[in-house]
Amino acid sequence: MLVLRTADAAVRARAARFDDIEFRTYRPLASMKVGCGTQEPLHEVYLTWRPGAAPGAEQTAVAVEVLPEGFVP
């Protein structure tokens, strides 16, 4: 389960296996290790997901992209 904070709420998406999620970075990071719990330091990211099969069903996480520093959407 991934939980990402936005300005308005938390977005939740899951995958059957952690390896099913593609992780990319567009900035130099000391480590691209992602584990359980809050990530420190926090990064601006873009989450790609597929909607659940039925209304109200959980989204399926497909990819997480760590955006460049100073990125303004």
Kindly report the number of other CB atoms within 10 A of residue 66's CB atom.
Answer: 19
Amino acid 48: pLDDT? 95
User: What per-residue confidence (pLDDT) applies to 39?
Assistant: 79
- For the record, the structure tokens of 17 come out as 């296996």
CA distance 50 to 32: 24
The dihedral through the CA atoms of 50, 69, 18, 11 has a sign that is: negative
Q: Which helix (H) or strand (E) holds 23?
A: strand 22-25
At 20-61, the pLDDT tens digits run 999 988 877 666 667 778 877 778 889 999 988 887 788 999
Boundaries of every domain in the chain: 2-66
Spatial CB neighbours of 26, under 8 Å, sequence gap ≥ 6: 65, 66, 67, 68
Give the pTM: 0.77
